[in-house]
Amino acid sequence: MKLHILGIAGTFMGGVAALARELGHAVEGSDQAVYPPMSTQLEQLGIALSQGYLPGNISDDCDQVVIGNALSRGNPAVEHVLDHGLAYTSGAQWLSEKVLPGRDTLAVAGTHGKTTTTTILAFLLQAAGREPGFLIGGVAEDFGMSARIGSGREFVVEADEYDTAFFDKRSKFVHYRPLVAILNNLEFDHADIFPDVAAIQRQFHHLVRTVPGRGRLIVNGADACIAEVLEMGCWTPVERFGLLQEGMDPTFEWSARKLREDGSAFTVLHKGNEFGIVEWSLLGDHNVLNGLAALAACHAVGVDVAAVIPALMAFRSVKRRMEVIGTHAGITIYDDFAHHPTAIATTLAGLRAKVGKSRIVVAIEPRSNSMRLGAHADALAPSLDGADVVVFLHRPELAWDAGKVMTALKGEGHAVVDVDMLITTLRTLARDGDRVVFMSNGGFDGAPRRFLAALRDG
């Protein structure tokens, strides 16, 4: 079968392309925003990629068009598909029909941490010899890819609550029908499709409804919004996880006791019994919780958790999750995907615990739909409290006032209108010993590597 994937450079659709290619299908695709790491993966797979959504980019001999959720009515390619009666589906539906049948699906859901937790879970199952399949919303460093079919029974999928397609407004994750579901956390996001938190909770409950009684729900026990979801009805055994600290409910099935403040070492406990000590390169309380949830999910499918914990010492995470791009003149440059205020705050807290009083400089691009709509504008400045200096990319099309955010910052703040000015500003500000963190859920016009090149050029 020959597939054309509309929106192929997105992290999810790029994974679908990789899986389809591995299954033996001919794959082509088109997109309008192409950047690493997904563009690199597609190139390595030899998948033909066309720029833009022109009807002529869809081959005449294409058997089915897989349509990403970034496309809507009025898009020329979408109108072509409809007008010509071409067979079409969504990426989530294609996955549920072509890959997941006969597998034990482990789904990772939540506002934050999905990509990292999915990657840890797949890595641990691999360490246990399970040879899992997976689809991750990013390129896993240890696998060198974002998706594979796998020869084992388990398939791990990053379960996004964003809508499925223009013709299917349900959250993607309702298609997956997992045996085990991780509910990491739940906050307001995706302001372009959800009016409030209650609307997101309803979608999460649709996911809960699909998990069988023989399965398992692994949930963040400290998250009130998730607790409200479960109160709507739950038919599956629940195991809660959380950090072992004052005020924590002692009945949590899974807990972690930090051994280092930066989260790089912690003890894993199951029902009060120590399973082992995790020592790894990841930082922050959020990653402790991500790792704990993944270990609990492994246990749910029969993995000996104590046996696989040592493997995490070698875990290398995901590209663009505090990925070190390089160091020059004592300045270390990170590329990070954080774009929600909570993720920004927890990421910076983990880095601060690691680097102590060294300066943290943040270059941030408000690019997500929620950010561009201003849904997180009031929370953005407080989320950056961990930074000493912030350079804020305020593109002309951003509809809300960056000045208000700059005024509310605890540290030094600068607003620039394009990436060229951002790099120039950073070159002026950065000094020996600084950690410069680029934060965006898009390509950021290649800013992290451009800044590193600018430093090397002097």
Please give the Cα distance from 106 to 425 (Å, whole number). 44
Give the range of the structural domain holding residue 278, as residue numbers without chain letter: 99-314
Query: In terms of domains, do 10 and 128 share one?
Result: no
Query: In terms of domains, do 52 and 131 share one?
Result: no
Q: What pLDDT score does 247 carry?
A: 67
pLDDT at 339 over 70: no
Residue range 310-321: mean pLDDT, rounded: 85
The mean-pLDDT minimum among 15-29, 71-85, 176-190, 240-254 falls in: 240-254
Contact by Cβ (8 Å): 279, 265: yes
Query: In terms of domains, do 130 and 19 share one?
Result: no
Share of the chain above pLDDT 70, in %: 95
- Coil, helix or strand for 76? helix
Query: In terms of domains, do 391 and 289 share one?
Result: no
Mean pLDDT of the chain: 91
Tokens of 103: 């597998």
pLDDT at 374 over 90: no
Query: In terms of domains, do 419 and 284 share one?
Result: no
39-48, 217-226, 317-326, 331-340, range with greatest mean pLDDT:
217-226
Q: What pLDDT score does 350 carry?
A: 84
Query: In terms of domains, do 269 and 138 share one?
Result: yes
- Per-position DSSP letters for 92-121, written without gaps between them: HHHHHHHTSTTSEEEEEE-SS-HHHHHHHH
Closest to 395 (Cα-Cα) out of 360, 371, 411, 424: 371
pLDDT digits (tens, 9 = 90+) for 394-438: 877 676 676 777 788 888 889 888 999 999 999 999 999 999 999
- CATH number, residue 350: 3.90.190.20
Kindly report the pTM of this predicted structure.
0.81
More confident residue, 350 or 84: 84
Residue range 374-389: mean pLDDT, rounded: 80
More confident residue, 399 or 321: 321
Q: Last residue of some domain: 58, 91, 124?
A: 91
- The distance of Cα 108 from the centroid of its chain, to the nearest Å, equals 10
Query: In terms of domains, do 26 and 48 share one?
Result: yes
Share of the chain above pLDDT 90, in %: 67
Query: In terms of domains, do 246 and 343 share one?
Result: no
User: Count of domains in the chain?
Assistant: 3
Q: Last residue of some domain: 50, 74, 91?
A: 91
Q: What pLDDT score does 408 carry?
A: 81
Query: In terms of domains, do 141 and 277 share one?
Result: yes
Q: What pLDDT score does 93 carry?
A: 98
Tokens of 339: 């774009």
Tokens of 212: 């069988």
Query: What is the total residue count of the chain?
Result: 458
Residue range 80-93: mean pLDDT, rounded: 98
Q: Last residue of some domain: 314, 341, 356?
A: 314
Q: What pLDDT score does 410 carry?
A: 81
Query: In terms of domains, do 183 and 293 share one?
Result: yes
pLDDT at 458 over 80: no
Give, as one character, the DSSP assignment of residue 329.
Answer: T
Query: In terms of domains, do 104 and 253 share one?
Result: yes
Closest to 72 (Cα-Cα) out of 53, 97, 51, 92: 53
Q: What pLDDT score does 394 carry?
A: 83
Query: In terms of domains, do 111 and 71 share one?
Result: no
- CATH number, residue 130: 3.40.1190.10
pLDDT digits (tens, 9 = 90+) for 116-152: 999 999 999 999 999 999 999 888 888 989 999 999 9
- Residues near 205 by Cβ (< 8 Å), separated by ≥ 6? 229, 232, 233
- CATH number, residue 42: 3.40.50.720
Q: What pLDDT score does 107 carry?
A: 98
Q: What pLDDT score does 24 carry?
A: 95
pLDDT digits (tens, 9 = 90+) for 94-103: 999 999 999 9
Please give the Cα distance from 123 to 300 (Å, whole number). 15
Residue range 364-374: mean pLDDT, rounded: 64
Give residue 369's pLDDT band: very low, low, confident or very high (50, 70, 90).
Answer: low
pLDDT digits (tens, 9 = 90+) for 299-309: 999 999 999 99
pLDDT at 250 over 80: no
For 428-431, the CB contacts below 8 A with 24+ separation are 429/361, 429/389, 429/391, 430/331, 430/361, 430/455, 431/330, 431/331, 431/359
pLDDT at 376 over 70: no
Strand partners, 104: 154
Q: What pLDDT score does 399 carry?
A: 66
pLDDT at 156 over 60: yes
